[in-house]
Every structure is written in structure tokens, then in C-alpha cells.
Amino acid sequence: MRNFLIILSLIVAGISSAVMIGFDVEEIGSDNTYYDDEQEGLDEQITIRFSHVAAENTPKGRTASKFAALLEDKTNGNVKVQIYPNALLYNDANEWEALQNGNVEMIAPATAKISEHYPVWQILDLPFAFPNYQAVEEAYEGEIGEALLEGLNHANVKGLDLWYNGYKQMTNQEYAIRTPDDFSRLHFRTMPGPVIQEQFNQLNTSTSKLSFNKTYQNLEVSFVDGQENTLSNINTKKFYEHQKYLTISNHGYLGYGVLMNQDFWDGLSSSVQESINAAMKEATEWGRRHAIEINDQHARAIRSNQSLEIYTLSAEERAQWEHALHPVYDKAEQTVGSDLMKEIKTIKERYAY
Ligand code: LMR
């Protein structure tokens, strides 16, 4: 009994002094400087699901892998990016909604697809806007790109960056396309977006808006005669299996807006946000440096495929296309506004063909 009373009095004394001077455990828990989360791996593992529609061996697929590796490295493995290429999770018709609802954290749709939701984005799809790659870079990394990314300020979508693919070319099953008049007897698959639609309207072409990953089947059954795309997309999706003619026209540029779910972003610590920004910057630079070479590799693969007849527009034919497509600019200006339009025209003139 005596021992019991001694133990009891020690416990009571312990509790009272803890109440007076505070529990050490609480102190540690409330002071983050005791921890180094990254070193001790105490951060909860964060997974970013990144859905896109292109193949892995394309500029978008490879830039996404680069971004994933860089981010994992910068966060000591705390942030993992799970990439779902080839529309494995969502296709271009439902990826926007999936991002908004938080069913995925990242997508990277073609700029034309973003212009369905934010019409000002159509500026990047204007035909013959970029006479060379430097012009593309100036638009993507200058005032235009900045304005477009900052403009993504509602719909629970945060714009992270713009990624590169390459120039679009025309393929079809019927005959070699050389002049604007050649389009009027053809039916084309298109991406969504007002400028794309207007481009084909000016060429008097009938069109069907189809998901990227449905294009192959629709070419196969001849529902559409042709489509426009980069050489990396044409090769990786094997469009050449149902297309006889390829016209190298470089008439438009295909690139991407890299987007994140805004709520997800807001819930991240500032150090993770910084790592994402840093990984994104490096991955974008990598993509810019490698996109041309990746498309060139696919061009070589296509050229060694005997079944596709390749025709490159002459300077005179390209001028005819440009002239035929000029009205697309007037229509776009009504939505894009004169300031950005002036900017893109300045870039175009600076690098005129
Ligand atoms: C297309 O739909 O043709 C392209 O946007 C696919 C892609 O994402 O490269």
C-alpha cells in the first residue's frame, strides 16, 4: 500500500509539472523545424495522374517522361507522376472534364483543343503563323504564351507551360494534294477548335471532328479521306497504313498547353509547387531542344515506308495556300483581339518565308 501511494504521488507530480511547463511531445509536434520531411520521408507520397492521348515515343510522350523523372528526383521520390499515354484513361473528348473534376491531376491537350474552352488560344493554330521554329518559340515563350497561360483563370484549371511537337502535314487516301483546290473533294478528320474549322472551311473541305484515338479506325473504314498531323503522330499511330499520300506543307504548328487541376495545386506545399515549377521548366526546355529531332526520326521512318507517296509543296504552292487561308486571320481577330493578333503578325513578319 505504501509503495502504491509513492507511485501515485510520483505520477500526480509528473502530470502537474507537465501541465505547468508543457508537454515536450506537443512542442515537437507543433514545431516543424525539428523535422526534415524530405530527408526522413515523413511527407505523404503524392501521386500525379497525367493523362494524354499521344504515343510515348512522341515529343509529348517523351517530355512527359522527362518531367516525371525530374520531379521525382527533385522531391526525393515523394512526388510520383503516373503517366497514362495513348488515351488509356481519358481521350481528348473527356480529358478536360476529368481534369476539372480531379479524376486526373494533369493533362496536356493540343492548343486547338484548349481553344474550345478558351477561344483566345486559337491564335496558336493560325495557318502559316510560324515561318520557322524560332517564331514558334517566340510566341510560346514570349508575351503570347504568357497571356494564354495566365488567362486560364477559371474552370479549376491551372496553366503550367506550353510544350512543343511540330509542324502539321496533310495526309489522304485519294491523290497528292498540291493546291488549295485539291481539298474540295475530300472529307477530313479534324481536331476541335474554331481556327481549325475555319481553315478547312476556307479550303471548301467537308470535315468530321473526331478524337485522335478514333482517327485510325475512321481512316481504315474510309469514313474520312484524310487528316492533318505531325510526322511523329502520323508514324506512331500508323495512319500511313490507310493513307497513300503525304503532303509536306508545314501549314500549322501543333503544340500543347500543360494543365493541372487548380484545387490539387492549391493543396500542395510551397516546396512541392516549387519543385513542380522547376521540373516543368527543365522538361519544357528539353522538349524544345528535342521535338525537332524526334519528328525527324519519325520522318525517316515514314520515308522508308514505301507505301506513302510524299510530296513537298513548292514555294509557289505554299503562297497559294497562304493566300487561300488568309481570311482565317480576319475571323480569328474578332475573338483573339487586336493586341495579340498584332503580336503574332509581328512574329510572322520577322521570320517571313
Ligand atoms: C490530334 O488530336 O491530332 C493531336 O492533338 C494529338 C496530340 O495530342 O498530339
Number of structural domains in the chain? 1
Per-residue model confidence as pLDDT tens digits over 112-129: 999 999 999 999 999 999
Per-residue model confidence as pLDDT tens digits over 202-231: 999 999 999 999 999 999 999 999 999 999
Q: Is residue 3 part of a domain?
A: no
Q: Is residue 334 part of a domain?
A: yes
Residue 31 has pLDDT above 80, yes or no: no
Closest atom of ligand 1 to 211 CA is: 2
Give the closest residue (by CA) to ligand 1 atom 2.
Answer: 212
Q: Is residue 216 part of a domain?
A: yes
Q: Is residue 10 part of a domain?
A: no
Q: How far apart are CA 46 and CA 80, in angstroms?
A: 6
Which residues surround ligand 1 with Cβ inside 6 Å? 53-54, 60, 92, 110, 165, 191, 212, 229, 233
The CA 111 to ligand 1 mean position distance, Å, reads 9
Domain with 243, as residue range(s), is 45-350
Q: Is residue 29 part of a domain?
A: no
> Coil, strand, or helix at residue 29?
helix
Q: Is residue 119 part of a domain?
A: yes
Per-residue model confidence as pLDDT tens digits over 146-179: 999 999 988 899 999 999 999 999 999 999 999 9
Q: Is residue 23 part of a domain?
A: no
The CA 102 to ligand 1 mean position distance, Å, reads 22
Closest atom of ligand 1 to 108 CA is: 8
Closest atom of ligand 1 to 112 CA is: 5
Q: Which of 105, 122, 99, 106 is nearest to 60 (CA)?
A: 106
Give the closest residue (by CA) to ligand 1 atom 9.
Answer: 54
Give the closest residue (by CA) to ligand 1 atom 3.
Answer: 212
Q: What is the dihedral of CA 39, 40, 45, 50, to 10 degrees?
A: 10
pTM, entire model: 0.87
Residue 26 has pLDDT above 50, yes or no: no
Per-residue confidence (pLDDT) for residue 38, from 0 to 100:
47
Q: Is residue 290 part of a domain?
A: yes
Could you tell me the CATH number of the domain that includes residue 111?
A: 3.40.190.170
Q: How far apart are CA 148 and CA 339, in angstroms?
A: 13
CB atoms under 10 Å from CB of 276, counted, come to 24
